[in-house]
Chains A and B, each alone.
Chain A
Amino acid sequence: MTTPSTPPSTPDPHAGHTPLLRVTGVKKYFAVTRGIVFQKKVGNVQAVDGVDLEIYPGETVGLVGETGCGKTTLARVITKLHEPTAGKLELDGEDYTHYSRTRMRPLRRKMQIIFQDPYASLNPRKTVGSIIGDPYRIHKTAPKHQVKAEVQQLMELVGLNPEHYNRYPHEFSGGQRQRIGVARALALTPQLIVCDEPVSALDVSIQAQILNLLGDLQREFRLTYLFIAHDLSVVRHVSNRVVVMYLGKVAEIAPQAELYRNPKHPYTGTLLSAVPIPDPDRAQTKNRIILQGDVPSPIDPPAGCRFHPRCPKAQLPRCRDEIPELREMGAGHLAACHFPLTGPDDLRARTDEIPAAG
């Protein structure tokens, strides 16, 4: 629960580099109140509960987890759309944890966000040209008469027809709207883009187009992404490193290939085994572990390791009483587990013994 005195050690490829974004011990609690006139605080939703994270220039960090694990809240805290309850946020060495909205403004040029729902995140009363042009006008990064040319150039870059400058969002399909969101995020040439489920609302063929676009833009502008998604295949495809969250805490952080080949946290293992694979032969040989029950409430999370009530490997006194800290389990591979997985068959051997609940 407490902030560790030293941040987790840096993975090899980044040795010597300073992180672009450093998140230390960040918490975000939402108060639960009861009563209409005299609101009484009755508890806290511990949406994010002590997250440490470093993102290095040019990399893509994937953030996965199920509904309610706090991944979107974390994205909103990082971009200061929510105020953190505790912890420290640093961008390029600058501590912006307690910045006011005005002081945040110059930082927003370096850090932008792409939202999940391309239908809700674009103002239906504004034209595309004005949506993408707003960042230029607000931050005054281009003279007024040049904004249109800049916007049209951006539209072309993200694969929109620049002639559609005066159209409204409803005239575009879901995929095209997400391109508008991407163009808006790029307008201020940011260094870090937080992508909050940018492709979850899209059909597979359109999803692939947007993923390719994000990849191309990253290479062209040396962008750094924090890529949030619940789809493990998508995260695997885009990320250099992957962070797995469960109930407000980081369960595991590892380089992409390592995490998918050799997961250490039992939660990561079960999550990976649950993904349906579009290959019937492989699907049959795969160990599928079906977790019982639902994610517990973040208002009253389980004591000790938050995953222990559903964990196939939990050993009772310890996992219930002692909160596991993130520990190094290989180069750049950290997991918060007392009894990490030893191999691919570890989990299966154990789930066979567990009686089905219900």
Chain B
Amino acid sequence: MSATTPARGETLLEVRDLRVHFPTVDGLVRAVDGISFEIRRGEVLGVVGESGSGKSVSFLTIMGLITSRQAQITGEVIFKGRDLLKLPVDEMRHIRGKEMSMVFQDPMTSLHPMYRVGAQIAEAVLAHEKVTKKAAAARAVEMLRKVGIAKPEEGARRYPHQFSGGMRQRAMIAMALVLDPDLLIADEPTTALDVTVQAQILDLIDRLKTEFHAAVAIITHDLGVVAEHCDTIHVMYAGKIAEAGRGREMFYSSRHPYTWGLLQSIPRLDAEGSQRLNPIKGLPPSLIFVPPGCAFHPRCPYVMDVCRTVVPTLQTAPGAHPSACHLSDAEKVRIFEEKVLQRS
């Protein structure tokens, strides 16, 4: 829950130099272009970025839902000691759903409209465990109760269209957690929901994380969500990690101009008066023709000559967190404190 608790536990997932490139008729789409990170047990990781930053594609690849049949994938995805990218399909099937599972953005299209909600949750149990149908159905009801569906026996017999948006997302979470996975990936779990329902769902994820001892990765575009719920935050831009740090670092000592742009683009509920917003100029780049050098340089207000030619790598200055930007650390601190930080 708190953004200041240190992440503990052993490394659960380690991603090394993951690249996912899609060949298309127009050219090679570099959706994910060399990202490395790790998630520890009990940690909540927030991945922030705009459409097309590669945040969903990277986790779909980790889940084995994007395979070498659709894309050119290189790198390593080490989950509990095994490289998932080298695993045969049927072995991957045992891991997916059982050891790591995913909650998708749109709960309407990710539930099957013609099966009862309870049956869809029980199906996950039957696929992975040798239990009777009756026992699986009971597990589904129990799980619906845990995610806060008011009358779980009745809810299990209903069809998705009889559920509200918030209930459907609860059902999705029940399905993802019914096998007690080690890693829960939530891809924009609340984007389609109203704020009050969003608060319910995020609160639920917080509670279940403790109850199930799972690590959680929340993919979102909402900086507010990561501020309140994540231990570690990655900001992605054009298929790369621009900046990675603890929750507080990202808000009080951010070291990448793209993060600054995001922070200045959002209207704040807690601001004094309403100043003019300071949006990032221009548009996100095409992932086929990624700008040379730093992909953010055409939109960056602090662009230097070196940015146009040399690709910045994630560097950690003393006392700072990793960021991929050519500005000197002192310069980053100065600009952030003068221009971006809103002191409360």
Contact = CB atoms under 8 A, between A and B. Distances in A.
B197 interface: yes
A209 B283 CA distance: 10
A208 B279 contact: yes
A66 B195 contact: yes
A66 B267 contact: no
Contacts of B342: 279
B194 A280 contact: no
B78 to A, nearest CB: 30
Interface in B133-180: 145, 148-150, 164-167
B199 A288 contact: yes
A273 B2 CA distance: 17
B131 interface: no
Contacts of B167: 294
B221 to A, nearest CB: 6
B195 A271 contact: yes
A234 interface: yes
B196 A274 contact: yes
A116 to B, nearest CB: 14
Interface stretch (B19-27, B116-124, B258-266): B258-266
Interface residues of A, number: 48
A205 B221 CA distance: 11
B309 to A, nearest CB: 25
Contacts of B266: 204, 208, 233, 278
Nearest to A173: B283
Given A208-B279, A290-B200, A290-B203, A279 B227 contact: yes
A155 B202 CA distance: 41
Nearest to B49: A203
B279 A260 contact: no
Contacts of A175: 283
B114 interface: no
Query: Considering residues A203, A205, A270, A291, which has the most beta carbons from chain B within 10 angstroms of its beta carbon?
Result: A205
Contact of B228 (A173, A209, A276): A276
B262 A204 contact: yes
A272 B268 CA distance: 12
A276 B221 CA distance: 12
A282 interface: yes
A358 B262 contact: no
Query: Considering residues B195, B221, B263, which has the most beta carbons from chain A within 10 angstroms of its beta carbon?
Result: B195
B344 A358 contact: no
A67 B196 contact: no
Contacts of A273: 199
Contact of A294 (B197, B202, B274): B197
Contacts, number: 147
B270 A277 contact: yes
Contacts of A277: 224, 227-228, 268-270
B265 A280 contact: no
A167 B232 CA distance: 43
B326 to A, nearest CB: 21
A358 B227 contact: no
Interface in A265-304: 270-284, 288, 290-295
B188 interface: no
Contacts of B3: 280, 283-284
B269 A236 contact: yes
A207 B265 contact: yes
Contacts of B72: none
B194 A237 contact: no
Interface string A208-241: 1101100100000000000000101110111000
A294 B224 contact: no
Contact of B277 (A237, A256, A295): A237
Nearest to A283: B228
B251 interface: yes
B314 interface: no
A292 B196 CA distance: 9
Contacts of A233: 266-269
A138 interface: no
A125 to B, nearest CB: 23
Query: Considering residues A206, A279, A284, A293, which has the most beta carbons from chain B within 10 angstroms of its beta carbon?
Result: A279
B197 A212 contact: no
B222 to A, nearest CB: 6
B223 interface: yes
B225 interface: yes
Top-8 shortest CB links A-B: A276-B224, A208-B279, A237-B267, A278-B223, A208-B265, A274-B199, A66-B194, A203-B50
Interface of A: 66-67, 173, 175-176, 203-209, 211-212, 215, 230, 232-234, 236-238, 256, 260, 270-284, 288, 290-295, 357-358
